[in-house]
């Protein structure tokens, strides 16, 4: 690895366009600008991983050994880990109380019962009317 420069996260996050693209993967900073046109997934995939820790994005794809080896030529330094924003805790969505009234629930239950019976009756009627003696 050519450099041992330590970068602040805010500095890395500024490089997020096609002509100037840096990624943060496993605490290392990579200038992938020269690779933008050659990336098999397209430059949009790389741009979507800028401005954040892209480690999970990189690992989820399942890159080959040759892709991992290729990273060395784009390495430009380390990240100051104290400057990387922490990920927020996961908060599940709040469930909205069901506002349907009892009468609409009753109608839905009746329809769930009647519609299949009506379809069956219609099918039997068609069968009887089209039956050849």
pLDDT at 25 over 60: yes
5: nearest Cα among 70, 85, 79, 84: 79
Pick from 29, 88, 93, 25: nearest CA to 53: 25
**Integer Cα distance of 123 and 127 in angstroms:** 6
C-alpha 92, offset from chain centre: 17
- For residue 132, what pLDDT is reported? 76
Q: Higher pLDDT residue, 9 or 103?
A: 9
Instruction: Compute the average pLDDT of residues 79-104.
Output: 72
The predicted model scores a pTM of: 0.62
Please give the average per-residue pLDDT across 76-88, as a whole number: 86
**pLDDT the model gives residue 23:** 94
For the chain, state the CA radius of gyration: 29
In the chain, where the domains are located: 6-83, 100-133
Confidence band for 102, pLDDT divided at 50, 70 and 90: confident
Contact indicator for 12, 79 with CB cutoff of 8 Å: yes
The CATH-assigned architecture of domain 6-83 is: Roll (3.10)
């Amino acid at each position: 690895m050519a450099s041992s420069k330590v970068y602040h996260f805010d500095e890395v996050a500024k490089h997020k366009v096609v002509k100037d693209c840096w990624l943060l993967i496993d605490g290392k900073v990579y200038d992938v600008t020269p690779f933008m046109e050659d990336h098999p997934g397209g430059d949009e995939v790389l741009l979507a991983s800028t401005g954040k820790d892209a480690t999970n994005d990189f690992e989820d794809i399942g890159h080959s050994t040759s892709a991992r080896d290729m990273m060395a030529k784009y390495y430009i330094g380390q990240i100051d880990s104290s400057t990387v924003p922490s990920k927020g805790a996961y908060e599940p969505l709040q469930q909205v109380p069901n506002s349907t009234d009892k009468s609409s629930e009753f109608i839905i239950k009746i329809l769930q019962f009647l519609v299949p019976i009506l379809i069956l009756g219609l099918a039997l009627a068609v069968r009887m009317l089209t039956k050849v003696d």
